Amino acid sequence: MTYEDLVPVIRRLAIEAGAKIMEIYNSDDFDVKVKSDESPVTAADEAADALISEGLRAAFPDMMLVTEEQSDSHKERGDTFLIVDPLDGTKEFIHRRGDFTVNIALVEKGVPTRGVVYAPAKERMFFTLADGSAVEETGAFDPDTIGETNPIRVASSDNAALMVVASKSHRDQATDDYIGKYNVRDSKSAGSSLKFCLVATGEADLYPRVGRTMEWDTAAGHAVLAGAGGKVVRFDDHSPLVYGKEGYANPFFIAYAPAVELKKA
C-alpha cells in the first residue's frame, strides 16, 4: 500500500459514508440504541461502518483494521493499522447539531500519518495528501474526483490572546480550570474531531481534552493536525500521544499549534 493508493480511497469512503449518514440525519426519525459502554449508536453509525469497512478490506486486505463499531477488531494488536470512527459525535448527530464527522486514519509505528475528517452536515472536509501535508477541500465532494483544495496551516499563535476550542458535549470544570491558565482571547465549543481541524486551520490555537476518548476518536484529526504543523501530546507529561495502546483508550491530551507555550497540568 502506498500513500498515493490510500488517500483517494479513504477520501472516497468518507464521502460515501457521509452521504449515508445524511440520509438518516435528514429522515423524520431514527432509532438510538445504547452500547455496553453506555454510549449511543444509531443506524447511521452502523451503515457508515459497514460501507467503510467493506471498502477498506477490499482495497487493503493485508492491513490490520480497527473500527469502533466492531468490538472484535479491538482485540487486534499492532502498531501499524487503519482505524475508523464511522460517525464521531453521535450525540451531536442525535441532537441534530451537525458537529459530527467521519474519521479514517492510517497509524504507522504508533503515529497517525494520514487521515481524513469529513463533516457532511457542515460541508467541510480535511485530509492529508500523499506527501503528508494537510488540506481542506471545497466544492461538491465528488467521491471519485478531488476538487479544489486549500493548504491549511496552524496559527502563529499570540500567547497573550489565544483562541481555545473545547468539547461541546464533554466540557467540565477541569477543562475550564486548565484553560484558565492561559491568556484567552476567546473560546468556542465544537463537537467531534472538528476540534483538531480548527487548530489545523488556525481557527483555534489550543484544544485540551480532559476526559475519555478512544484512538478512533482522535487518529484522523491528529493526522490532519500534524500535516498542518500541529502537535498532540499527553496532558500529564507533554510526551507525544501514541497509538496502538492496550484497549485503544487515550489518556487526557492537548492538541495545539507549536507557538503556544504549554502550561503544566
Taking the C-alpha atoms of residue 58 and residue 29, their distance in angstroms, rounded to an integer, is 32
Tell me: is residue 225 an annotated ligand-binding position.
Answer: no
- What is the CB neighbour count within 10 angstroms for residue 39? 14
Sign of CA dihedral 165, 84, 241, 247: positive
Residue 175 counted as an annotated binding residue? no
DSSP per-residue string spanning 8-33 = HHHHHHHHHHHHHHHHHHTSS---EE
Task: Determine if residue 5 is labeled as part of a ligand binding site.
Answer: no
C-alpha cell at 6: 490510500
Is 217 annotated to bind a ligand? Reply is yes
Under 8 Å CB-to-CB from 118, ≥6 apart: which residues?
14, 15, 17, 18, 101, 102, 124, 125, 126, 141
Determine whether the annotation assigns residue 129 to a binding site: no
- Smallest CA-to-CA distance from 203 within 154, 254, 167, 136 is with 154
Q: Does 85 carry a binding-site annotation?
A: yes
Which residues are annotated binding-site positions for substrate? 68, 87-90, 217
Which residues are annotated binding-site positions for Mg(2+)? 68, 85, 87-88, 217
Which residues are annotated binding-site positions? 68, 85, 87-90, 217
